[in-house]
Structure 1
């Protein structure tokens, strides 16, 4: 079992694609289109690789939930990466800074970024193949 895609509503496709292209340079727009969502026109893209992607639609209004708040909604989503330092470097070169560091852990490194749409994205690199080590607190 694996998560194939997440569908995120944003207000600016180009800004959000700039962030995810820096994080995942091997991803591409798999497909795109235009349509209507409950009476409002929208553009959409599926950005990813052959197995996973993020569906983005540009008809968003208002602000995302406050990360430090207590509103119901998405807190964050995470990607496992092979080389965390490279992801951080690519994002820094594209103008994005780490929002917060993960906890100090002997078997994983992780950081959190806020994408241009206000979603918190975690990137984690595991330093062990053993689930009991990777998942320990």
Structure 2
């Protein structure tokens, strides 16, 4: 078995990014934090998550995020499955974040996109069926 353990993300503002992800994952906590040097550049980092999954956030990013409308190499967005998409939207709204894009309407799922403080796109999806054939339709 292989599973994703963590994502390592470079950001411009560590605390603003932490606030965004805390709104998404209210049950997670800062597992650890510190300072390090990455190829000669000092940065602060933190691990935010639970005992099994986490995000590593590193400050001192010195460029803009990948152009979402462009074709640069890199991750276009990360996506998280939730069983309460309305709760995620409400928590992000309370933290001052608005959706950047509603996903395509579908009777078997709902998805929505937000932009985090570093300019990275994050998708959330809630499935309304346990049947993979319906959840993963490509005909709409």
Post-superposition Cα deviations, 1:103-125, rounded to whole Å, max 9, x if no partner, equal 11111100000000111000000
How many angstroms does 1:59 deviate by? Answer: 2.2
Equivalents in 1 of 2:21, 2:66: separation in Å?
20
Equivalents in 2 of 1:79, 1:51: separation in Å?
15
- Tell me the secondary structure at the aligned position of residue 51 of structure 1: coil
Aligned-residue CA RMSD (Å): 0.9
Equivalents in 2 of 1:111, 1:105: separation in Å?
12
Equivalents in 2 of 1:59, 1:104: separation in Å?
38
Relative to the length of structure 2, the TM-score reads 0.94
Q: How many residues align?
A: 137
User: Structure 2: which 5+ runs fail to align?
Assistant: none
User: Structure 1: which 5+ runs fail to align?
Assistant: none
How many angstroms does 1:18 deviate by? Answer: 0.8
Cross-structure match for 1:59: 60
Post-superposition Cα deviations, 1:57-111, rounded to whole Å, max 9, x if no partner, equal 1121010111112211110010001100000011011110000001111111000
Cross-structure match for 1:87: 88
